[in-house]
Amino acid sequence: MNGGNIVLIGMPGCGKSTCGVLLSKLVCKSFVDTDLVIQQCEGRLLQQIINESGTDYFARTEEKIISSLRLENSVIATGGSVVCYESAMNNLAKNAVIVYLKISYDGMMKRITNLSTRGILLKNGETVRDMYNHRQALYEKYAQITVDCEEEAVEKNVEKIKYAYEKIINHPGE
């Protein structure tokens, strides 16, 4: 598993991208942010994709791009909605440890100050609370490791992720 990936999943605002950059340095892996990959492929921001082409288009695009990613020895920060696509999660899970960065609904709402421009995928009529409740079960389904990231000290959260990852790699099955 030396060349394996670490895939970070979790709610918008939980720290996937921020923790991912720091974690990649600590574990000597490349860093990939799937939101940036989608933006580069589409040539526009996530919120622009949603506004101009709709949520269904965004969902199909995200699933297609992430289902076709081929990465090795990387820390991968995913968009919050990636768990909604089984094919994308199956692809990411190959040669990887899936880490769920868990925060409460209130914690998420404190951290997200730019809800209307952040590129958060809400289905028609879905509230942020609905999205939280739906995705939480999916994060738990796919996670091999769950790390409580309610505390806002990013460095401490990164240490917790690294420790849990090393434990699962060095002592599989425990």
d(CA 35, CA 29) in angstroms, rounded, equals 18
| Spatial separation of the C-alpha atoms in residues 103 and 109, rounded to whole Å | 10
pLDDT band at 169 (very low <50, low <70, confident <90, very high): confident
Tokens of 11: 């709610």
CA 151 to chain centre: 18
pLDDT of residue 117: 58
Q: Which helix (H) or strand (E) holds 86?
A: helix 86-93
Residue pLDDT, tens place only, 25-80? 999 999 999 999 999 999 999 989 989 999 899 999 999 999 999 999 999 999 88
Q: State how far the Cα of 86 lies from the Cα of 21, in Å rounded to an integer.
A: 25
User: What integer pLDDT is reported at residue 135 of this predicted model?
Assistant: 92
What does the pLDDT read at residue 1? 42
Mean pLDDT of the chain: 89
% of the chain surpassing 70 pLDDT: 93
Instruction: Answer with the residue of higher pLDDT: 9 or 13.
Output: 9
Nearest to 69 by CA among 85, 55, 52: 85
pLDDT(142) > 60: yes
